[in-house]
Chain A
Amino acid sequence: MRLINRRPSRATAFALAAIPFAATVIAYAVASHFRRQENPADKLLPSLEQMLGTFWRMAFVPERRSGDLVLWVDTVDSLWRLGLGMGVATSFALIIGLLIGFIPHARAVLSPYIAAISLIPPITILPILFIMVGLGEASKIMLVALGTAPVMTRATAQAVMNIPRELVIKAQTLGASTWQMMTRVVLPQVLPQLVTAVRLGLVPAWIFLISAEAIASTSGLGYRIFLVRRFLAMDVILPYVVWITLLAYLLDRFLLFISRRAFPWAHLQGESL
């Protein structure tokens, strides 16, 4: 049979998916082993046991000075900033995207503006935010929101415009007003695409969050890894990177799950990633 027609079984697919992950861990363990054989005090490639121990300590042993469980404090603070920023960006993208995609006059006013704004490298806004709203939570949340909203808005507007013209005409022959078409025809058909836009927007959102935390913060996942960088504490940095990746992955899967549950009609055809 041709290669494109051979499909792995569920168990095989799972095993195949595990191979690159296992290979990475093994390669790291071997490299770490040989480096520590030469120099037992090596800090660059700590052993898996050492990283696990450090991670465990950060998660379950209160820090001596503050009494905090550092990992959880960092995680909650970061997710709070990320969630609030993405919430603002998503609301903006939905409302403005619907207007741009559906109302020609709104499109004429807003579309060139959003297109221009979306070309500003968001990180260049960070110093402006620090000066204007200070170093507190607001500047980090705003960076996440400003960095993701324009692109998500354009994706939403495009999704609205991709709704077959026939459906909009049909709704009018059924007596729908503009508002009724927006709420009953356009909005429900765009929501699954909005979830997709959020999933894609989370990638840059994490970058902006970690950057903002690295530059000015007193807590958060990004703050921690940039803080311990000064002590070459790879046994903290590496587990944190894995932890951030895991959080991002779980968030992505959660959104896909929500979309499948809430919009079953949108997942009836084809495979999706």
Chain B
Amino acid sequence: MTGQQDIKIKVRNLTKSYGDIIVLERVSIEVVSGSFCTIVGASGCGKSTFLRMLLSQEHPTTGEILIDDKVLPREPTPDRGIVFQRSSVFPHLTVEDNLILASEFADHGFSARKFGAARNDSRDAVTETLETIGLAPARKRYPAQLSGGMQQRLAIAQALLKKPDVLLLDEPFGALDPGIRLDMHDLLLSLWQERGMTVFMVTHDIQEAFKLGTRLLVFDKTRHDPHAPEGFGATITYDLPLKNGDGQDLPDPSALFAQPADQDIGANHA
């Protein structure tokens, strides 16, 4: 990969606790610009919490996260895009209006709304994006009228509108059928190769993590106190460089952490 000076994200000795419950402890990593980090771990291991801290939706209890050597702002900013498992697109806006919203925010501070010709121009301008994500025929529909896969394609396109340097994905394909997932992988990889942003993706599916990532981060607890199960937090137990698209010489997924991902069906609320 690129040189030492290209470090995008630095995490230094990060801890996150809610009262007595320690979720994460001693997390330290450096991630070079343009990496595709996939994050796996057992349910409740704090991987989604880690992602939310990268987004500034939550804040570290101790330690710090640096982006381009600066401490993360205290609130979400346009340089970090996000795709959630669900509820990431605006239900009251049609597909094309979901995609012009960011430009409306930028161009019209007070009304945050475009009218007439300006709006039509903006709507025409997203046609290319709509074709990339295969939603051109559905541009006038509301999200509730789209399938789960179509909604997530829209969510990814929307997250990239502000051309973020960092794209965060929280189990984005967790609710999709296997066939649709493969299409989504292709879309995501092509967008990543085109834009070159740094990606963090939390997933339950360890095959998906191996397939997409250039770097695999496994979160797990290293210390257990049977009398206080919440007394110790999870940390990064494996940090594996992956060659994208090449699944060779990799350890057995089931050996990476105690609870196999396959048994972990449904949403992760960690």
Of the listed stretches A58-66, A146-154, A165-173, A208-216, chain B binds A165-173
Whether A14 is near chain B, meaning CB under 8 Å from some CB there, is no
- Sample (27) of A-B pairs whose CB atoms are under 8 Å apart: A164-B87, A166-B86, A167-B87, A167-B88, A167-B90, A169-B76, A169-B82, A170-B90, A171-B105, A173-B55, A173-B76, A173-B77, A173-B78, A173-B159, A173-B164, A174-B78, A174-B102, A174-B161, A174-B162, A177-B109, A179-B110, A183-B111, A184-B105, A185-B90, A263-B92, A265-B92, A265-B143
The DSSP consensus for interface residues of chain B is: loop
Whether B134 is near chain A, meaning CB under 8 Å from some CB there, is no
Contacts of B102 in A (CB 8 A): 174-175
Contacts of B104 in A (CB 8 A): 184
Whether B112 is near chain A, meaning CB under 8 Å from some CB there, is yes
Query: Which of A170, A171, A263 has the most chain B CB within a 10 Å cutoff?
Result: A170
Q: For the complex, what is the distance from the CA of A189 to the CA of B143, rounded to whole Å?
A: 13
Task: Kindly report which residue of chain A lies nearest to residue B104, judged by CB atoms.
Answer: A184
Contacts A166-B84, A174-B105 supplied; 17 other A-B pairs, CB < 8 Å: A166-B87, A167-B88, A170-B90, A172-B77, A173-B76, A173-B80, A173-B159, A173-B164, A174-B161, A175-B102, A175-B106, A176-B105, A180-B105, A180-B112, A183-B113, A189-B91, A266-B91
Whether B182 is near chain A, meaning CB under 8 Å from some CB there, is no
Contacts of A167 in B (CB 8 A): 87-88, 90
Whether B75 is near chain A, meaning CB under 8 Å from some CB there, is yes
Task: Kindly report which residue of chain A lies nearest to residue B143, judged by CB atoms.
Answer: A265
Contacts of A180 in B (CB 8 A): 105, 109, 112
Contacts of A184 in B (CB 8 A): 101, 104-105, 112-113
Contacts of B86 in A (CB 8 A): 166
Interface magnitude class on chain B: 35 or more
Closest 7 pairs (CB-CB, A-B): A164-B87, A172-B76, A180-B112, A174-B102, A268-B144, A265-B142, A166-B87
Contacts of B235 in A (CB 8 A): none
Q: For the complex, what is the distance from the CA of A173 to the CA of B101, rounded to whole Å?
A: 12
Instruction: Check if A173 sits within 8 Å of B91, measured CB to CB.
Output: no
Instruction: Check if B82 sits within 8 Å of A173, measured CB to CB.
Output: yes
Q: B212 to nearest A CB, angstroms?
A: 21
Whether B57 is near chain A, meaning CB under 8 Å from some CB there, is yes
Contacts of A269 in B (CB 8 A): 144
Whether B145 is near chain A, meaning CB under 8 Å from some CB there, is yes
Which of the residues A176, A266, A268 comes within 8 Å of B112, measured between beta carbons?
A176
- Seen from chain B, the residues whose Cβ lies within 8 Å of a Cβ on chain A are 55, 57, 75-78, 80-82, 84, 86-93, 101-102, 104-106, 109-113, 142-145, 158-159, 161-162, 164
Task: Kindly report which residue of chain B lies nearest to residue A183, judged by CB atoms.
Answer: B112
Whether A134 is near chain B, meaning CB under 8 Å from some CB there, is no
Task: Kindly report which residue of chain B lies nearest to residue A164, judged by CB atoms.
Answer: B87
Q: For the complex, what is the distance from the CA of A119 to the CA of B106, rounded to whole Å?
A: 43
Query: Which of A164, A171, A172 has the most chain B CB within a 10 Å cutoff?
Result: A172
Q: For the complex, what is the distance from the CA of A67 to the CA of B159, rounded to whole Å?
A: 68
Instruction: Check if B142 sits within 8 Å of A268, measured CB to CB.
Output: yes
Q: B30 to nearest A CB, angstroms?
A: 23
Whether A188 is near chain B, meaning CB under 8 Å from some CB there, is yes
Contacts of B82 in A (CB 8 A): 169-170, 173
Instruction: Check if B92 sits within 8 Å of A266, measured CB to CB.
Output: yes
Contacts of A40 in B (CB 8 A): none
Q: For the complex, what is the distance from the CA of A189 to the CA of B87, rounded to whole Å?
A: 13
Q: For the complex, what is the distance from the CA of A176 to the CA of B112, rounded to whole Å?
A: 9
Q: For the complex, what is the distance from the CA of A28 to the CA of B154, rounded to whole Å?
A: 60
Whether A112 is near chain B, meaning CB under 8 Å from some CB there, is no
Contacts of A264 in B (CB 8 A): 142
Instruction: Check if A170 sits within 8 Å of B142, measured CB to CB.
Output: no
Q: For the complex, what is the distance from the CA of A252 to the CA of B88, rounded to whole Å?
A: 33
Instruction: Check if A172 sits within 8 Å of B106, measured CB to CB.
Output: no
Contacts of A179 in B (CB 8 A): 110, 112
